[in-house]
Structure 1
Amino acid sequence: MSLNKPYKDIPGTTIFDAEESRKGYWLNQFCSSLMKAENRTRFKADERAYLNEWKMTEAQKDAVISRDLNECIRLGGNIYFLARIGATDGLTFQQMAGSMTGMSEEEYRNMMVGGGRSPEGNRYLGEDGDAQPHRQPQGNHNKEEA
């Protein structure tokens, strides 16, 4: 029995709920294993062999090997667990996030310092297809007016 999930209608967003958790359980367990140095060494020595020790789907294994973190998320991966793959590769979270958006690290950093991604085209669509009004943040966030 599936629950009502109105958040499924947010373009480009995967909400890590119980269903996603079940789907990605072994993928996320694999990622957790990378907290131990000896596991990182084994993984880097033969990625496929190490992944084959886990009850992951072939699609999940392929996404890890190709470092397609967006696909890992679609397959039930949680970004906080997936960050361990990036750390194993010597990447910062900022570098990983940039790669997931198709931006360079500098472009991603500049976007985030500039206030993040525009909400245009990324709002909840609702059942009738009309975008819900975007709530403006409270308070004065314009430094020039302060």
Structure 2
Amino acid sequence: MTKAQDNYLLDLSASRRGYAINRLCGSLADAENRRRFSEDESDYCDVFGLSPEQKRTILERDWVGMLDLGASIFYTFKLAVLDQKSMQYLGGVFTGMSAEEFTAVMREGGRKFG
């Protein structure tokens, strides 16, 4: 898995880079698409024209890699939900913490910078 950056800017360039990943993940809002994806993830990726690297990040659930390729957390979260992963789980992945540690930090008011 890739190391997370300090922040991600979802600007026009990143949006264009991540378009195929975001389309695929966004399609998972539909129950029929979730069923199709679950039956053959690789084939479903091909339907959306993912590059080999994009496809790898989806199939390996490389959450940080998806963001590095321009994906939006709002779309990738639909994939995480399919895997029964929480937003706290993803927050932990992106910050190098466990879901429990991330939750505790958020309950204490978030990370302190200074």
1:39 aligns with 2:33: yes
How many percent identity over aligned positions? 35
State the structure with more CA Rg.
1
Aligned-residue RMSD, C-alpha: 1.4
With normalisation by structure 2, the TM-score equals 0.89
Deviation at 1:116, TM superposition (A): 1.6
Unaligned runs of 5+ in 1: 1-10, 121-146
Q: Aligned residues, how many? A: 110
Deviation at 1:96, TM superposition (A): 2.0
Deviation at 1:49, TM superposition (A): 1.0
Structure possessing the higher relative contact order (Cα contacts under 8 Å, 6 or more residues apart): 2
With normalisation by structure 1, the TM-score equals 0.70
2:113 match = 119
Q: Which amino acid aligns with 2:54?
A: Q
**Alpha-carbon separation, structure 2, partners of 1:60 and 1:118:** 33
1:78 aligns with 2:68: no
Task: Find the partner of 1:94 among 88, 100, 105.
Answer: 88
**Alpha-carbon separation, structure 2, partners of 1:32 and 1:63:** 16
Unaligned runs of 5+ in 2: none
Deviation at 1:119, TM superposition (A): 2.1
**Alpha-carbon separation, structure 2, partners of 1:102 and 1:46:** 30
Q: Which amino acid aligns with 1:41?
A: R
Bigger proportion of residues as helix: 2
